Structures are given as C-alpha cells and as structure tokens.
Amino acid sequence: MIRSASVSRPVRLLSLAALVLCVAASPMVASAADWLGPSAVTAAADGEHVFVACRDADQVLMVEAASGKVAGKIPVPATPTAMALCPEGKTLYVTCAAPASTVALIDVEEQSVTGTIPAGHTATGIAVAPDNSTLYVCNRFNDEVAVIDVASKETVTRVPVIREPHGAVITPDGDTVFVINHLPLDPCDEFDVAIEVAVINTEDNEVQHIRLPNGSTAARGIAMSPDGRYVYVTHILARYQMPTTQLERGWMNTNALTIIDAAEKQYVNTVLLDDVDLGAANPWGVTTNEDGSLILVAHAGTHELSVIDAKGLMEKLAGIPEEPDPDQMPDRSIYASVRQSDVPNDLAFLVGLRRRIKLDGNGAHGVAVIGETAYVGMHFSDTLAEVDLEDRPGRLVNPIALGPTPEMTIQRRGEMFFHDADLCFQNWQSCASCHPDARADGLNWDLLNDGIGNPKNTKSMLLAHQTPPSMAEGVRESAEVAVRAGIVHIQFAVRPEEDAVAIDEYLKALEPVPSPYRVDGELSPAAERGKKIFFDEKVGCARCHPEPLYTDNLLHDVGSRGWFTRTDAFVTPTLVEVWRTAPYMHDGKWLTIEDLIKKGGHGGEGKGGDLSGLTEQQLDDLIEFVLSL
C-alpha cells in the first residue's frame, strides 16, 4: 500500500550554539565517553579495509581486512551515525549527529576530514547519488530528508517524511530513494499502527509511503540488493493488541525483515527472523554480499548474525498464493503459510533458508561484507566481529579488538542490559524493544499491572526515576519498582539485583535532546510568548506542569477516560521532550499537541486550566512553547 505523506513538522535548524544548551543528540550517557561504541560499518572500495563508525568516541576507524589491525583513526565533529562512499570510493560521507548536524567529508587516502556540510537535527542516515552530485540525508528529528548538492555543499530542498527518518538507500539508476521511518505516527486507539517507508522520486522530490504490517515499529536498517530490484528493512513486529501474559511463540514482540519491490515501489512481504522457541531480538544493520545471493542481518539484542538465502527466500514467497484454492488446501501442520498474509506470523518460514551465527561480544549493530567475510560492529564490546560466510564445518567467528577495553561503569552496564535480549526468556525482546533509545515505540500495550483489557501508551524512560509514581495510573510507586517488575513480568526472567540497579543508573543518567522547535538553542519569539501564557495563573498550565520537570507527579482527572479505561485519574506526565513522544495521553488518542489542546480541549475549563480567553494565535504560541521543552 502506498499513500502520500500527510504529517510534517516545521523545520528549524540549530547552530552549534545549541550544543551548550544541555545535551548531545545521542542517547548515550556521559560515562560512555571512554568507549568506542562501534556501530555503522562500511566496506572500502579497495576491498582491503572496512570503515567503522564509533558512536561513543566521535571517530571513524579504518581497519585492515586481512590483519584486523586499525590502520587509521579519523576524528569527526560529532556522533557518527551512518556512512556512505562516493561512487569512486575516494570520499567517505559520514553523518555526524547533533542538534546542528554535519556531514563530514573524509578523504579515504589521506584519512582525514577535508570539509563538512551543514545538516539538520540528528542526521542519522545517508545515500549518495550514483553520479556523486547529490546527498540524501535523514534529519531524524526534523522529520525530513535533506537533498544536498555536493558541489555547493548546500541543501537544495527538504522532503518531509512521516517520523524520524533513520536510513536511506538509492536505486542504481538514481531515480528513487527509499527511507525508513523509525517509528509509527498513528493514533493508538485505532486498529492499525505501523511504520512506513518513504519513496522519494529524485526528479521532482515527490514522496509516497509504503505502509508495513500492523505493529511494525523501531526500524533500524535498510539495504538494497545489488541489482536494485529489492529493498530490505529490519524492524520489530509487535503483537501489541495481545495482553502481555506470556512470551512463547512471539506473543509480544517478533523481529522482522520486510521486502519491498523497488521497481514497482510495492510491499512484497514480511518474514520473521525468530525461531519458534528462540527470539532474534532487535534486528539492526542489514546488507547483502556482492552478488546479492545472501542477505545479512545483525541482531543487536541477541548478538548474532542471520545469513539468509535471498534466492530461496524470494522463490518461497513467490510460491505462496494470495489466497489458496479451497479444494487444494495444504495441511497446516506441514505448511504454516498457505496465503501471503500468513507469512508475517510464520515463525518457521525461514527454516532451511537462514543460518543464525552467534557472535562474540555484545550489541551487533552495523554489518558489511568483503568477499566471503562479514564484519559486524559489536557496540558494547568495542570489537569488530569477523565472520566467515562459507557454510562449512569449523566456520570462523573472530572478534577483532578495536582498542583497549575501558572500565565498565555501572551506567554503561545498565545501558548494555537495557538493550540485551539475552536477559529475556527465550530472547524475544530487550527493554529497548518497547523503549527504543530508552524512549517509546508509539504503541499501546496491555500490561497486567493494572488489570487486563485496558491498554496504555508506552512512556519514555527519560526522567522516569525523577518523576514517581510510575505507569499511567501510578500503580508502581517508583521507577525502581517498575524496572524490577518489568524484568519479572515483561522479560519473564529472574535476574540478580545488581542487574536492576545498573539499569536504574543508566536510566537516571539519560538527558533530554534539545527540541527541534528551538532556534539556535533558544526559544523562538512565538515560544517566548507561549511561555508567558503557560505560566499565567489564570490559564493554569503550570499548576499541573510546574518547572523544572513540568509535572506535579500527581494523579488528575482531565476528562481523558477512553473506551478501554476503568479510571478517570492519571499521573501528570513530564513535558520535557514531549515533542518526541507522540501520540498523546494514556491511550495515544491524539496525534499532535495541537490536536490535544484544540480538539481534545486539554487544559481547558474543567480539565486543569482555562484556555477560554485565548485567541488562535495565543494557542499556537502556547503549543510552540510546549513543543520547545
């Protein structure tokens, strides 16, 4: 299904002065500074080196493929998130994420940054036109793709996409760019909530979107087959409409690879990367080998590499009808998928088509291939996993140390545990499966801590420990209690107390990302006007949302009871980073803050305040301030 984009946000680029505001754009905590944090991996054109983007060290490493030695260390201006080589292989383009991001131009031969190009808020993905004339840069928190002219180093136009673009690929003919949206943007009280893939026509920069299956969220990786025929997307496929009573057979979260027909710009199908009794949590990087015969997926939660027979996969998909002949229905005990719509629920679909290779280290992120060898960045181990792809006995998996191992702080250990599905029963999910980057997945979940049949919208973990009680109805007295309950009742595991303590410390150390609604790190004139309205005693917003955390930590009835709700009062949420946490209210009914205030009447008479005397412009100014927090 393809539909036009309909949701965008005003674009405001921040200067480097914004960096002094409070935080870096990366969710990594300050204690990770001594670590490298290898993430994205790209093969050099000479086939003799791989480039490794180290998120925690703000540098790109050049590693010799033959020896595994680090041949170069190239500092970059900010957190490196994605890389792409120019067609000739002489220049490496690196997105460096910050409130005012840049694209660093690295001379491969000289191993140095020769220039930078301004980008938007938290540049996270990049694609290069085949003629090296144009860059397509995902500005994650501007909800846009910047089209940048390489010669002038200027942004030609900005293409709005749906929500948090996270990666991009371009067809070999340069006609089409495919971009993954990291999160869904749908009201959660509706039946269908899913991420979409943006399809940009490079001739006129018109955009359409291909919708993925219901429950698709947290897209992390995108790749294109070498012939330009297929696009592969890694993401979670959440079973959010089920009560969270168990984990067996992917009851809560499954982990998926979606295939898109690039020429037809159509959804093909979604296959599960899990096994029947063993999850393959948090699929991240995806790529192919040189001839496209293998699809490789790195699993950040289970620290492994999936190697998939691409031809066999497509042949099997092609052999399944849209609807089977009723007179020739196969035995479901043998054939789990009898129609195309069965495939996204078929945990055995890849049997015989995929090898799961366990890797040494923790946090498999990016993956690249040279010949018969794959290289995987192990984010929490500061290693590069070297994997022999030949299917033979004694296959080699060799960890390459990228530097000395710093001391493991409690915050970093907690960050590692938060993203580690090995802590979970049958490895189906990590904490990050529902809280990507320790924020929210954009879905409603029916947790059992407040009864069954009353789903609630996922909350961000930012400031959770500083704003008790926890959960929408305040059923957990603190985030400490909620963390331990989550390990037992969501991960279905029993873990040592020190694991929970470490996760606490990681979450306490999280810092907010500066809002994209700020201008050079400061409130816009409209937001300044809105601030006065917000703190006006008659309007009354600050009564429930006082500084500095913009919550009074109390339960209030603001008229938000929904279809499945059994109570009227809910805990006041913090407004810090509220620009990032759509949809809004406990049931995710409202898609934007504007809708919440203007259509939902939140903050109006009888709902905590009095907005009756405000003009349309004053309401807009108030909304601008709230979105700037």
Task: Tell me the pLDDT tens digit for each residue of 144-202.
Answer: 999 999 999 999 999 999 999 999 999 999 999 999 999 999 999 889 999 999 999 99
Boundary of a domain, candidates 444, 476, 508: 508
The answer to whether 455 touches 587, Cβ cutoff 8 Å, is yes
Same domain, 383 and 424: no
Residue 567: exposure state from Cβ atoms within 10 A (0-12, 13-18, ≥19):
middle
Same domain, 19 and 144: yes
Is a pLDDT exceeding 80 seen at residue 4? no
Two structure tokens written together for 436: 């990507």
pLDDT at 563: 78
Q: How many structural domains compose the chain?
A: 3
Same domain, 442 and 401: no
Domain of 599 in residue numbering reads as 525-626
Spatial separation of the C-alpha atoms in residues 297 and 286, rounded to whole Å: 5
Spatial separation of the C-alpha atoms in residues 344 and 298, rounded to whole Å: 19
Same domain, 393 and 434: no
Residue 129 lies in a domain: yes
Same domain, 317 and 382: yes
Spatial separation of the C-alpha atoms in residues 361 and 382, rounded to whole Å: 8
pLDDT at 392: 74
pLDDT grade for 499, boundaries at 50, 70 and 90: very high
pLDDT at 8: 38
pLDDT grade for 333, boundaries at 50, 70 and 90: low
Work out the average pLDDT over 426-431.
97
Spatial separation of the C-alpha atoms in residues 81 and 534, rounded to whole Å: 36
Spatial separation of the C-alpha atoms in residues 354 and 385, rounded to whole Å: 19
pLDDT at 269: 98
Same domain, 319 and 440: no
In order of 265, 285, 445, the CA distances from 199 in angstroms are 7, 20, 30
pLDDT grade for 610, boundaries at 50, 70 and 90: confident
Q: Domain with 13 in it: what CATH number?
A: 2.130.10.10
Encode pLDDT of 212-262 as tens digits: 999 999 999 999 999 999 999 999 999 999 999 999 999 999 999 999 999
Q: Is the dihedral of CA 336, 339, 344, 350 positive or negative?
A: positive
Q: What is the pTM of this model?
A: 0.92
| Residue type, position 441, single letter | D
Same domain, 181 and 277: yes
pLDDT grade for 265, boundaries at 50, 70 and 90: very high
Is a pLDDT exceeding 60 seen at residue 2? no
Same domain, 498 and 539: no
Q: How many CB atoms lie within 10 A of CB 110?
A: 11
Same domain, 165 and 232: yes
Work out the average pLDDT over 463-486.
95
Spatial separation of the C-alpha atoms in residues 445 and 252, rounded to whole Å: 9
For residue 467, which phi and psi values (nearest 5 degrees)?
A: -135, 60
Same domain, 273 and 201: yes
pLDDT at 30: 35
pLDDT grade for 21, boundaries at 50, 70 and 90: very low
The residue whose two tokens read 């609630």 is 456
Same domain, 450 and 340: no
